[in-house]
């Protein structure tokens, strides 16, 4: 078993969707020109007049008058460490929160979607926070996820010990410094993604786990899914995730700004200690060192194995990664099994009706807590309804003939949800999540015989280029469309040229300019 666990940990560290980021995400430093708003790439372009006009329009229509998230994200702040950089044991930078300080200048960046910039500022919380007085605390801004500490009779229960040993260790040291040193008596893994278990060796010693001194609690199926979701297609995920997250880009208004559920993922030592207790029932109660908990298994939601937790003594609901500050991926662009939006909404609904009348605070492994029963219910209902509407409306459209290659241009979230920040998407989007729902129920084919066994892009592209009159005409038309702000149309034709002529630098530069504006 020890050999198996070692192989699992190494495999996840090398190829998992989250942990690959740990190989380089957290250690990237800020671009020197970020504070001045300078582009880090000599070929980079400023936002066009069309892009600026679009951004200004969004600033007028988004519900910026609702400031509650900012108030909640600051509530309970106790202290921040004196440092902004956490070093890895290997000598590299594991975490550099200071590289994102360009976001705190009070400027609107036309190169960043206004809603994303708001989210990026909200995710700048850094340090130790109190969630429930003298009972529950969080350290935020040390990794992609939050690490939570629940005070027991004699020590701490740690919920989700981050991605890396070094950042988790630093978080525990901050807690012990500010709140008094206490031993860790248990660790809870909320689910099978590496940013929720990878730093476990920074908070506990494996010998204490083996001796029974420390419990590690996880949902049923945790070990299987930690491998299945992260390893089997790992090489492909590795390549794709760099496009999804942009983690190798400099931290800049033109580069990496945020990762929607946090700033980035730490570049430290990722490990794994096998759980000693698995939660198998839909709802399962347990008391650890005086703290009563009820675990709610939520398989098939944000992860194949995931669970929420309710603390009846504190009237606090831990939402794992099922309810955060964003509508999540139904299909993650790095690649994974398509998630079940309907099951997700039903599990939130189950939590709402089981705990919603009592809970006075809701906190999670990402984002910030929400306080007050009305507020907790509001956010739970909003996200429940968002996932349910996505599932149901897309199926309605599909049953009326809209295909997987059209639905992203047809499905729209209702205005009643759009007016609420909790229904906005950063980790997911209406466009790709709607296609994911059709893919889950109907698969990738749109029932057009021409798309069942298509030519590969590199084989079909030369035909398109020839029929369009050659590369010069495509370049001219692409530039014209670009200047008109018709970026998706420009992308369609210039992409064909790049596939037909992969060494055509001018075409690749134009396509990059188009992508940058999009």
Write down the pLDDT at residue 517. 97
CB-CB contact of 487 with 517 (8 Å):
yes
Q: What pLDDT shows up at residue 21?
A: 35
Predicted local confidence at residue 228, as pLDDT? 79
Encode pLDDT of 121-166 as tens digits: 999 999 999 999 999 999 999 999 999 999 999 999 999 999 999 9
Task: Give 397's contacts (C-beta < 8 A, 6+ positions apart).
Answer: 407, 410, 411
**Cα-Cα-Cα-Cα dihedral sign, residues 485, 491, 494, 498:** positive
Per-position DSSP letters for 58-91, written without gaps between them: HHHHS-TT--HHHHHHHTTEEE--S-SEEE-TTS
Mean pLDDT, all residues of the chain = 93
Give the integer Cα–Cα distance in Å for 216 and 386.
Answer: 33
Task: Answer for the pair 372, 356: CB distance below 8 angstroms, yes or no.
Answer: no
CATH topology of domain 455-517: 1.25.40
Residue range 29-50, pLDDT digits in tens: 668 888 887 899 999 999 999 9
- C-alpha separations of 12 from 18, 19, 29, 162, 266 in Å: 9, 6, 24, 14, 14
Residues near 77 by Cβ (< 8 Å), separated by ≥ 6? Answer: 125, 127, 128, 129
All residues at 6 or more sequence positions from 7 whose CB lies less than 8 Å from its CB, including other chains: none
The residues that bridge with 219 in the sheet, in sequence order, are 279
Predicted local confidence at residue 28, as pLDDT: 62
List the one residue out of 99, 117, 129, 85 whose CA is nearest residue 30. Answer: 99
Beta-sheet strands, E only, within 155-241 = 156-159, 184-188, 215-219
Can you name the CATH fold of 2-41+48-383?
Answer: Metallo-beta-lactamase; Chain A (3.60.15)
pLDDT tens-digit map of 337-377: 899 999 999 999 999 999 999 999 999 999 999 999 999 99
Evaluate if residue 432 carries a pLDDT over 80. yes
What are 39-88's pLDDT values in tens digits? 999 999 999 999 999 999 999 999 999 999 999 999 999 999 999 999 99
In this predicted structure, the answer to whether residue 13 has a pLDDT above a threshold of 60 is no
Which of 142-151, 235-244, 507-516 shows the lowest per-residue confidence on average (mean pLDDT)? 235-244
Residue 433 has pLDDT above 90, yes or no: yes
Q: Could you read off the pLDDT of 272-330 as tens digits, one per residue? A: 999 999 999 999 999 999 999 999 999 999 999 999 999 999 999 999 999 999 999 99
Per-residue pLDDT reduced to its tens digit, 449-504 = 999 999 999 999 999 999 999 999 999 999 999 999 999 999 999 999 999 999 99
Nearest one of 486, 516, 167, 470 to 478, comparing CA atoms: 486
329: alpha, beta or left, given left = phi > 0 and alpha = psi -120 to 50?
beta
Q: Are 190 and 320 in contact (CB under 8 A)?
A: yes
Query: Residue 435 phi/psi, 5° resolution?
Result: -65, -35
- Strands across the sheet containing 291-297: 283-288, 291-297, 307-311, 316-318, 361-363, 370-371
HEC states along 421-435?
HHHCECCCCHHHHHH
Average the pLDDT over 197-201 and give the result. Answer: 97
**Residue 29 pLDDT:** 62
Query: Taking every pair of C-alpha atoms in the chain, what is the biggest distance, in angstroms?
Result: 77
CB 485 within 8 A of CB 518: no
Tally of CB atoms within 10 A around 177: 12
- Cβ(424)–Cβ(432) below 8 Å: no
Judge whether 432 and 339 are in contact, CB under 8 Å: no
Domain boundaries along the sequence of the chain: 2-41+48-383, 455-517
* Better-scored residue on pLDDT, 335 or 136: 136
DSSP state of 38: -
* CB-based contact 203:169 (threshold 8 Å): yes
Residue 406 has pLDDT above 50, yes or no: yes
Please indicate whether residue 236 or residue 117 has the higher confidence score (pLDDT): 117
State which H helix or E strand residue 317 sits in. Answer: strand 316-318
């Amino acid at each position: 078993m020890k050999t198996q666990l070692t192989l699992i940990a190494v495999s996840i560290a090398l190829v998992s969707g989250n942990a690959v980021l740990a190989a380089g995400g957290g250690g990237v430093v800020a671009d020197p020109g970020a504070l001045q708003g300078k582009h880090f790439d000599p070929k980079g372009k400023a936002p066009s007049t069309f892009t600026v006009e679009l951004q200004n329009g969004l600033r007028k229509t988004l519900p910026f008058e609702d400031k509650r998230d900012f108030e909640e994200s600051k509530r309970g702040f106790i202290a921040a460490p004196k440092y902004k950089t956490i070093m890895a044991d290997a000598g590299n930078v594991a975490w550099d929160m200071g590289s994102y300080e360009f976001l705190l200048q009070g400027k609107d960046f036309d190169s960043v979607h206004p809603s994303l910039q708001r989210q990026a500022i909200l995710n700048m919380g850094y340090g130790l926070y109190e969630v429930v007085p003298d009972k529950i605390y969080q350290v935020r801004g040390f990794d992609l996820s939050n690490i939570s500490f629940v005070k027991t009779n004699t020590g701490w229960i740690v919920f989700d010990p981050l991605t890396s040993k070094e950042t988790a260790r630093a978080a525990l040291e901050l807690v012990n410094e500010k709140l008094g040193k206490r031993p860790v008596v248990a660790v809870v893994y909320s689910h099978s993604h590496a940013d929720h278990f990878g730093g476990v060796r920074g908070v506990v010693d494996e010998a204490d786990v083996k001796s029974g001194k420390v419990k590690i609690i996880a949902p049923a199926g945790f070990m299987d899914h930690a491998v299945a979701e992260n390893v089997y297609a790992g090489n492909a995920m590795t390549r794709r995730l760099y496009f999804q997250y942009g983690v190798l880009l400099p931290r800049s208004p033109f580069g990496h700004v945020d990762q929607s559920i946090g700033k980035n993922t730490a570049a430290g030592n990722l490990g794994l200690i096998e759980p000693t207790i698995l939660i198998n029932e839909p709802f399962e109660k347990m008391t650890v060192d005086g703290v009563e908990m009820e675990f709610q298994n939520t398989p098939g939601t944000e992860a194949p194995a995931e669970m929420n937790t309710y603390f009846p003594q504190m009237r606090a609901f831990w939402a794992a990664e099922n309810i955060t500050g964003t509508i999540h991926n139904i299909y993650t662009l790095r690649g994974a099994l398509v998630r079940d939006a309907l099951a997700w909404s039903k599990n939130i609904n189950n939590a709402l009706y089981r705990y919603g009348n009592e809970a006075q605070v809701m906190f999670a492994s990402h984002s910030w807590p929400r306080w007050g029963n009305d507020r907790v219910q509001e956010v739970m209902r909003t996200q429940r309804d968002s996932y349910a509407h996505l599932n149901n409306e897309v199926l309605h459209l599909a049953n009326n003939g809209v295909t997987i290659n059209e639905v992203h241009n047809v499905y729209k979230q209702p205005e009643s949800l759009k007016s609420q920040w909790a229904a906005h998407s950063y980790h997911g989007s209406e466009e790709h999540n709607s296609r994911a729902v059709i893919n889950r129920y109907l698969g990738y084919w749109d029932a057009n015989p021409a798309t069942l066994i298509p030519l590969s892009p590199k084989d079909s592209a030369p035909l398109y280029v020839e029929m369009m009159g050659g590369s010069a005409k495509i370049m001219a038309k692409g530039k014209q469309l670009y200047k008109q702000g018709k970026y998706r149309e420009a992308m369609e034709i210039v992409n064909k040229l790049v596939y037909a002529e992969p060494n055509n630098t001018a075409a690749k530069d134009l396509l990059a300019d188009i992508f940058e504006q999009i």
